[in-house]
Structure 1
Amino acid sequence: MEGLQKFPPRPTGAGELFQLFRDGSPRTRASLVSETGQSRSTVAARIDALSAAGLLAPAGEATSTGGRPPSTFAFAPTNRIVLGVDLGATHARLAVTDLAANALASMQAPLAITDHPERVLSWVAETGTQLVTEAGRGLDELAGIGIGLPGPVDHTDGRPVNPPIMPGWDGTDVPDILHRLLGAPVVVDNDVNVMALGEHRTVCPDVQNLLFVKVATGIGAGVVMDGELRRGAQGAAGDIGHIAVPGAEQAPCRCGNTGCLEAVAGGAAIADVLRRGGARIDTTQDIVDLVRAGDIAAGQAVRQAGRDIGAVLAASVSMLNPSRIIVGGVLSGAGEHLIAGIREVVYQRSLPLATQHLRIVTSRAGSQAGVVGAATLVTDRFLAPHSIDALITVKEDA
């Protein structure tokens, strides 16, 4: 009946019981009996099974209320490791983390995504192996590999789909290639989705509805609604870089259309404007450096890009009503110029109700958002209730 308060279902199996521990707080058997409504013997058996699987460990004793202090148990995230990979148009970031996404070893390097997929992924596997060794761990401890790619990805099979800035990658079976090279399960998603996930989990887990906007060589958005990453039917949700900007019909985009947001406000578009004014621009970072050095033309170009992005985001705000827009990517390093342009238009064009509590801010996770999000893709799958139940069954049968 309407009006009745709804409560979440109580955990039943060991996998669901484990979800209570993912907040990092130690728990006693008695507190778990109270939280789950299960018998002491059932709770004790499931704690034993989770401990045998390496997912829980003793965490000392709780404060006694009389008699012997009860033992506590907590999530043991160091039992397995994850390789998180964030690939951009011109860079790569990799990190080995534990199951709580704490980095054990990390690196970043220039990398051209336009190189042949096999070459790029072989480099990822070789570099990832070196990082695992640097972290003092072995490949047999890998729970999985998470990777973000700078283009549309069919999230059902992890294959890129006609990615505009990744020639030769269309339909590449990225999960199969990396699995053959590293021997662990692979999860693939769009790079902006993994950045949105990383920012959400590490910086603002309490924000249930947000848009993460990456502004770099390309432009895209990750959508978090009701606390969950939303990909859409085929994984194309958030591809704002190829929404048409009013008045920009003649600007050609590398996707084959004209007037796309990326074609007028992406790093390449801003660089073209500045080059015509005599500036020497080789990379998107060069634009940021000019802005930070006080170059007036660069500051004006970035602010106008912000306005163009704001025009597209205003429609997204009215459609999705997020409480926060987080701007990341290389161009977010250009100080207030980009954010000011976005705010100017979004607050002007969106309905007052939609912007009443809306905050538009720069990413706090920064360059680590992508690798943390990529690692989180793996841990969410590895630590899902059904995965843990299957892991425990395998260990019991061994």
Structure 2
Amino acid sequence: MTTDSTLRFGAQTDEVTSLLRIVNLVRTGEATTRPEIGRVTGLGRGVVTQRVDQAIQMGFLGDGEFGASSGGRAPRTLRFQSERGRIIVCALGALHIRVGYAELDGDIVEQKHREWDIARGPAETLKAAMELLDDLLKDAEEKPVWSVVIGVPGPVDFSTGQPVAPPIMPGWNGFDIRTPFEERFDAPAWVDNDVNLLALGERARRRDAYADLIFCKIGSGIGAGLLSQGRIHRGANGAAGDIGHVRVPDSDALCRCGKVGCLEAVAGGWALIRDAELAIK
């Protein structure tokens, strides 16, 4: 039997869902005026006005410039107030640490970089990353941190944020990367394979929420991020797209992961350098 409280809960859920959708439409630029929002969402004019007013009161949206007129009064555009907070970004590579912070629209404001061997282990690496972030933020304007994103060069169990048997990250298997960042910045943290994050970044630049693509990263190592209908395909233990350590037929090249014949040992950046040095001797 349906109760009044159940109905109220359902109405509140619908309200939150439509509010979030409107904020996201403005954030992505898909709809930036009230009439556009109504056409895209199918919501009535009164509901759109109510949700937009809520979003403005909460600080997510603000009034922008006047848009183009279609014959009547020019509509006022809306803007996403990305300056309200910041996102902390930490990219842990095989041979570097790169940190930065972005406003809520994802545009990087400042960043720092240092060379680093990730094989030095999680404790030393995270300590170095935190020091780099502290140095970066010491002169920055105080703003609330809304989230932290950490990329690592190996498979990740996304539900826990822990690496799963990463081939070039000795000592990292099952290490809790997420908690130190959440405690340091008092904000939720997400940990993922670095190529998955690059694939999601490509989807955002294309503004295609249902993209199908394979993003290949070829650097010191080799990896791929797989998007199907806009969703990352992670596979068992986060290993989908970990093509760098797939065996190449007839190759006996020793990989830095300890195995023989990996694609990375044949075509990775470090392998190309190795072969070039051997060729000029």
Cα deviation, 1:217-264, whole Å, max 9, x if unaligned, reads 22111122333332224321111111111111x333344432211222
Structure 1 position 72 matched with structure 2 position 77? yes
For residues 12 and 38 of structure 1, do their structure 2 counterparts lie closer, same or farther at Cα, with a shift above 3 Å needed? farther
Match of 2:28 among 23, 32, 41: 23
Query: 1:111 corresponds to which residue?
Result: 116
> Where do residues 1-40 of structure 1 align in structure 2 (5 Å cutoff)?
13-24=18-29, 27-40=32-45
Match of 2:192 among 189, 192, 204: 189
Query: 1:374 corresponds to which residue?
Result: none
Query: 2:230 corresponds to which residue?
Result: 227
Query: 1:198 corresponds to which residue?
Result: 201
Match of 2:241 among 238, 244, 254: 238
Percent of aligned pairs with the same amino acid: 38
For residues 88 and 64 of structure 1, do their structure 2 counterparts lie closer, same or farther at Cα, with a shift above 3 Å needed? closer
Match of 1:261 among 263, 270, 273: 263
In structure 1, distance between residues paired with 2:109 and 2:270: 35
Aligned residue type for 1:261 = L
Cα deviation, 1:293-323, whole Å, max 9, x if unaligned, reads xxxxxxxxxxxxxxxxxxxxxxxxxxxxxxx
Match of 2:95 among 86, 90, 97: 90
In structure 1, distance between residues paired with 2:72 and 2:272: 70
Aligned residue type for 1:21 = V
Match of 2:272 among 262, 270, 273: 270
Cα deviation, 1:182-241, whole Å, max 9, x if unaligned, reads 222111111122222223433x44593332222222211112233333222432111111
For residues 270 and 66 of structure 1, do their structure 2 counterparts lie closer, same or farther at Cα, with a shift above 3 Å needed? closer
Aligned residue type for 1:272 = R
Query: 2:3 corresponds to which residue?
Result: none
More helix by share: 1
Cα deviation, 1:117-150, whole Å, max 9, x if unaligned, reads 1222122223223333444233xx1111111101
Of 268-277 and 43-52, deviating more is: 268-277
Aligned residue type for 1:263 = A
For residues 69 and 129 of structure 1, do their structure 2 counterparts lie closer, same or farther at Cα, with a shift above 3 Å needed? same
Aligned residue type for 2:253 = A
Residues 122 and 181 of structure 1 are in contact (CA less than 8 Å); yes or no, is this contact kept in structure 2? no
Unpaired segments ≥5 residues, structure 2:
1-15
Unpaired segments ≥5 residues, structure 1:
1-10, 280-398
Residues 25 and 74 of structure 1 are in contact (CA less than 8 Å); yes or no, is this contact kept in structure 2? no
Of 99-108 and 219-228, deviating more is: 219-228
- Report the Cα offset of residue 42 of structure 1: 2.0
- Report the Cα offset of residue 164 of structure 1: 1.9
Query: 1:58 corresponds to which residue?
Result: 63
In structure 2, distance between residues paired with 1:26 and 1:212: 28
Residues 118 and 169 of structure 2 are in contact (CA less than 8 Å); yes or no, is this contact kept in structure 1? yes
Query: 1:283 corresponds to which residue?
Result: none
Aligned residue type for 1:184 = A
For residues 41 and 200 of structure 1, do their structure 2 counterparts lie closer, same or farther at Cα, with a shift above 3 Å needed? closer
Of 177-186 and 19-28, deviating more is: 19-28
* Backbone CA RMSD of aligned residues: 2.6
Residues 164 and 237 of structure 2 are in contact (CA less than 8 Å); yes or no, is this contact kept in structure 1? no
Instruction: Please report the TM-score for the alignment, with normalisation by the length of structure 2.
Output: 0.83
> Where do residues 234-313 of structure 1 align in structure 2 (5 Å cutoff)?
234-248=237-251, 250-278=252-280
In structure 1, distance between residues paired with 2:35 and 2:276: 66
In structure 1, distance between residues paired with 2:24 and 2:278: 56
In structure 2, distance between residues paired with 1:64 and 1:263: 59
Query: 2:150 corresponds to which residue?
Result: 147
SS at match of 1:19: helix
Query: 1:372 corresponds to which residue?
Result: none
SS at match of 2:101: strand
For residues 230 and 182 of structure 1, do their structure 2 counterparts lie closer, same or farther at Cα, with a shift above 3 Å needed? same
Aligned length: 265
